[in-house]
C-alpha cells in the first residue's frame, strides 16, 4: 500500500524543483506535532526546516487549529472585490501596528512570489502615474531569491541556475554584487561602490531597488551587515528610487528582531511579508507600502493598482495569521531565537575545521554549514535518507546544509539536528 503510493507519487506528482524522470527518495508524512513529523512507516523526525521558514510555533498548535475552526464556522472564503471582512481588517491592523510607522497600506496575496509581483507593480505604477513611465527597471543584488513567478524570477540571481534557462523572456534588470561585509566593523566603502555606480548611472530608468535585508536566503544563505542597508536606503533617497524589502524569509523574528530592517534602523517604501505569516498553516502573503507610494499610484486621478487574486485575503488564512501574531506577541520569541542562536554557535562552529567545509555561520534562528563543493547527485542519493534514518528532517541544497528550526525547539532536539549534521560531514564519500 505505502509502496504503491510512493511509486504513484514518483510517477505522477511534481514536487518543488523536481523531475519526474529521476528518482530521489521521498517520504510520506501522516501527521505533525510540535517540532516532529511522523512518517507513514511510523518513524518520527525532528524538523530543522520549519517547513521553509514558516512553522515558527511548531505543528498542530491548539490555538492555530482553533482559529481556523472558529473562522470555518463563519465562512471559509468570500471574494474581496467589493466586500471585506473582520479577519482581513484585524490582520491588517496588527501588521500596520508592528511594522515601521510609515507603512500604512496593505495588499494581501496568496504567496510570497505574488507579494513580490505586487511590490514591483506598485513601484512601476507609482512612477508611471506621476509622468515617469521610463522608470520601469529594478536594481537588485546577485545571490538574491524573490520567488518563482516571472516578475520575481527576473530579480533572482541570473547565474545561480534556478532560472537561467528563462533568460530570453525575462526583463533585463540591474545586478550589483552580493554584499560581503559580515559586520558593520568590516564595512568598507568599496562594498557599496558598484551599487552606487549602477544607481547613479541608471536612476532615471530605475523604479525600485529590491533586496532581502541582512540574509539572502535561497540564493545562497549569504549574511551581510546593517550598514550596507543604511547605505542603500540613503542612495535610494538621493536618486529618487523606491526601496522594496523582501522580508518573506526573515520576517517575524527569524533574524533576532521582528523584521531584519530594524537592525539597520531604516524603513522601506514597500515591504513584502510571507512564509511565517500564518505560522506555517496556510498560504498567505502581504505587500505593505507607505502613503507616499499609495498616493503616487493614484496621482493621475485614475491610477488603480492592477492586481486582484481570486483568493485575496482568504478569511481562514487571515484568521490563522492573526492568531499566529498573537501567539508571537505573547511568547518569549526574542529569548527563544537568542537561545537557538547561541546553541548553534557552540554546536555548529566546530564543523568549520572539518574537511570539505568552507564556512559555518549563524544568525538568529538560522544556522548554515557551507561546503566547498556542491552536493552532487551521488551525495543526494544518500544524504536525505541518512538524515531521516538518524531522526532529523533537513533539506540541503547546492553547497548548503542549513537549519532554521521552529522557535519552540528544545535544546536536546536542536542538538540532535546539529549532531546529525556533524555525522553526515564525517561520513566517507564512498560509504554508501
Ligand atoms: C520563499 C520566498 C519567496 C517566494 O515565496 P513563495 O510563497 O514561495 O512564493 C520570495 N522571497 C523570499 C525572500 C523568499 O524566501
**What's the mean pLDDT in 271-284?**
98
> Can you give the pLDDT at residue 161?
60
**Ligand 1 centroid to residue 249 C-alpha, Å:** 7
Q: In what order do the strands lie in the sheet with 400-403?
A: 357-363, 366-371, 400-403
Q: Please, which pLDDT band fits residue 194 given cuts at 50, 70 and 90? A: very high
Q: What pLDDT is attached to residue 24?
A: 75
111-138 tens-digit pLDDT: 999 999 999 999 999 999 999 999 999 9
- Is residue 399's pLDDT more than 80? yes
Average pLDDT in the 256-285 region? 98
d(CA 92, CA 284): 13
- The pLDDT value recorded for residue 228 is 98
Residue nearest to atom 8 of ligand 1 (CA): 112
Q: Could you tell me which residues come within 8 angstroms of residue 320 by beta carbon, excluding any fewer than 6 positions away?
A: 64, 67, 68, 71, 278, 279, 281, 282
Q: CA-to-CA distance for 329 and 308, rounded, in angstroms?
A: 30
Least-confidence region, from 5-14, 38-47, 105-114, 195-204: 5-14
pTM confidence score: 0.97
Helix H segments across 331-402?
333-348, 377-389
Asked if pLDDT for residue 65 goes beyond 80, the answer is: yes
**Given pLDDT bands bounded at 50, 70 and 90, which one contains residue 6?**
confident
In 3-state terms, what secondary structure has residue 241? coil
Q: What pLDDT, in 10s, does the model give residues 412-424?
A: 999 999 999 999 9
- Closest ligand 1 atom number to CA of residue 53: 15
What is the model's pLDDT at position 103?
98
How far apart are alpha carbons 258 and 325 in whole angstroms?
A: 11
- Quick: pLDDT tens for 39-57: 999 999 999 999 999 999 9
Locate 74 and state its grid cell. 463563519
Q: How many CB atoms lie within 10 A of CB 65?
A: 13
Of the candidate ranges 5-9, 132-136, 142-146, 339-343, the one whose mean pLDDT is the lowest: 5-9
pLDDT, mean of residues 296-301? 84
CATH class, 5-57+332-431 region: alpha beta
pLDDT at residue 427 in the model:
83
Choose the residue to mutate in 50, 116, 213, 223 for probing ligand 1, maximizing ligand atoms within 8 Å of C-beta: 116
Express as a percent the part of the chain with pLDDT over 90. Answer: 87
Most confident listed range (151-160, 291-300, 371-380, 388-397):
388-397
Which residue has a Cα nearest atom 10 of ligand 1?
Answer: 146
Query: Model confidence at 141, in pLDDT bands (50, 70, 90)?
Result: very high
For cell 538524515, the residue is 387
For the stretch 90-107, pLDDT in tens is 999 999 999 999 999 999
As a whole number of Å, the end-to-end CA separation of the chain is 27
383 vs 387: CA distance, rounded Å = 6
pLDDT band at 7 (very low <50, low <70, confident <90, very high): confident
> Could you name the CATH architecture of 64-330?
3-Layer(aba) Sandwich (3.40)
**Nearest C-alpha neighbor of 286 from the set 260, 317, 258, 261:** 317
Helix (H, G, I), strand (E, B) or coil at 290: strand
Radius of gyration of the chain (CA): 22
SS3 205: helix
Where does ligand 1 bind, in terms of residues with CB under 6 Å?
111-113, 116, 145-147, 212, 217-218, 246, 248-249, 274-275
CA distance 274 to 147: 11
Residue 29's nearest CA partner among 45, 7, 49 is 45
Domain borders along the chain are 5-57+332-431, 64-330
**Res. 313: pLDDT tops 80:** yes
Tell me what pLDDT residue 2 has: 56
Q: How far apart are CA 208 and CA 287, in angstroms?
A: 14
* Residues forming the active site: 17, 145, 246, 275
Q: Residue 407 — very low, low, confident or very high, per pLDDT cuts 50/70/90?
A: very high
Confidence of residue 3 (pLDDT cuts 50, 70, 90): low
Cell 505533525 belongs to residue: 32
Which range is least confidently modeled, 24-28, 200-204, 236-240, 403-407?
24-28
pLDDT at 360: 98
Which cell is 20 given?
Answer: 519526474
Whether residue 1 has pLDDT greater than 60: no
Report the separation in Å between the CA atom of 112 and the middle of ligand 1, taken as the mean of its atom positions: 4
Give the C-alpha separation, 429 to 303, whole Å. 59
Strands (E) across 103-165 are located at: 103-109, 137-141
Hey, what's the torsion of the CAs at 234, 255, 211, 370, to 10 degrees? Answer: 120
Q: What cell does 62 get? A: 491548539
Predicted pLDDT at 162: 64
From 219, 228, 255, 218, select the one nearest 362 (Cα to Cα): 255
Closest CA to 376 of 16, 15, 14, 22: 22
| 8 A C-beta contact, residue 40 and residue 261 | no
pLDDT level of residue 381 (50, 70, 90 thresholds): confident
Residue 243 cell numbers, joined: 526601496
Q: Summarize the confidence of residues 13-17 as an average pLDDT.
A: 92
With beta carbons less than 8 A apart as the criterion, state whether 368 and 221 touch.
Answer: yes
Q: In the predicted model, what is the mean pLDDT of residues 17-28?
A: 84
Q: Cell numbers for 346, please give them.
A: 557552540
Handedness of CA 396, 420, 5, 29 (dihedral sign): negative
Amino acid at each position: 500500500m505505502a509502496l504503491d503510493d510512493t511509486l504513484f507519487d514518483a510517477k505522477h506528482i511534481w514536487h518543488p524543483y523536481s523531475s519526474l524522470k529521476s528518482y530521489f527518495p521521498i517520504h510520506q508524512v501522516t501527521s505533525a506535532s510540535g517540532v516532529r513529523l511522523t512518517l507513514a512507516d511510523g518513524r518520527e523526525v525532528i524538523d530543522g526546516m520549519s517547513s521553509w521558514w514558516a512553522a515558527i510555533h511548531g505543528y498542530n498548535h491548539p490555538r492555530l487549529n482553533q482559529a481556523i475552526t472558529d473562522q470555518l464556522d463563519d465562512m471559509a472564503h468570500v471574494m474581496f472585490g467589493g466586500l471585506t471582512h473582520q479577519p482581513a481588517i484585524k490582520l491588517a491592523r496588527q501588521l500596520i501596528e508592528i511594522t515601521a510607522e510609515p507603512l500604512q497600506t496593505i495588499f494581501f496575496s496568496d504567496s510570497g512570489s505574488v507579494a513580490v509581483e505586487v511590490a514591483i507593480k506598485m513601484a512601476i505604477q507609482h512612477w508611471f502615474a506621476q509622468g515617469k513611465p521610463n522608470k520601469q527597471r529594478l536594481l537588485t543584488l546577485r545571490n538574491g531569491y524573490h520567488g518563482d513567478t516571472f516578475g520575481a524570477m527576473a530579480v533572482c540571481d541570473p547565474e545561480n541556475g534556478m532560472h537561467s534557462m528563462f533568460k530570453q523572456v525575462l526583463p533585463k534588470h540591474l545586478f550589483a554584487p552580493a554584499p560581503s561585509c559580515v559586520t558593520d566593523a568590516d564595512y568598507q566603502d568599496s562594498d557599496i561602490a558598484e551599487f552606487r555606480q549602477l544607481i547613479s548611472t541608471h536612476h532615471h530608468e530605475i523604479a525600485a531597488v529590491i533586496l532581502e535585508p541582512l540574509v539572502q536566503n535561497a540564493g545562497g544563505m549569504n549574511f551581510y551587515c546593517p550598514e550596507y542597508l543604511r547605505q542603500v536606503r540613503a542612495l535610494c533617497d538621493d536618486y529618487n528610487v523606491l526601496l522594496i524589502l523582501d522580508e518573506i524569509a526573515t520576517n517575524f523574528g527569524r533574524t533576532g528582531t521582528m523584521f531584519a530592517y530594524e537592525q539597520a534602523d531604516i524603513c522601506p517604501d514597500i515591504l513584502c511579508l510571507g512564509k511565517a505569516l500564518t505560522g506555517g498553516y496556510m498560504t498567505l502573503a502581504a505587500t505593505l507600502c507607505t502613503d507616499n507610494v499609495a498616493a503616487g499610484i493614484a496621482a493621475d486621478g485614475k491610477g488603480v493598482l492592477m492586481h486582484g487574486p481570486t483568493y485575496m485575503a482568504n478569511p481562514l488564512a487571515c484568521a490563522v495569521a492573526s492568531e499566529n501574531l498573537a501567539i508571537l506577541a505573547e511568547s518569549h520569541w526574542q529569548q527563544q531565537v537568542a537561545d537557538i542562536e547561541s546553541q548553534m554557535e557552540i554546536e555548529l562552529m566546530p564543523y568549520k575545521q572539518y574537511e570539505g567545509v568552507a564556512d559555518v555561520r549563524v544568525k538568529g534562528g538560522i544556522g548554515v554549514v557551507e561546503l566547498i563543493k556542491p552536493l552532487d547527485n551521488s551525495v543526494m542519493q544518500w544524504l536525505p535518507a541518512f538524515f531521516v534514518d538518524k531522526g532529523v528532517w533537513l533539506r540541503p541544497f547546492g553547497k548548503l546544509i542549513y537549519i532554521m528550526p521552529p522557535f519552540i525547539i528544545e535544546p536536546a532536539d536542536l542538538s540532535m539536528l546539529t549532531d546529525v549534521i556533524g555525522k553526515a560531514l564525517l561520513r566517507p564519500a564512498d560509504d554508501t
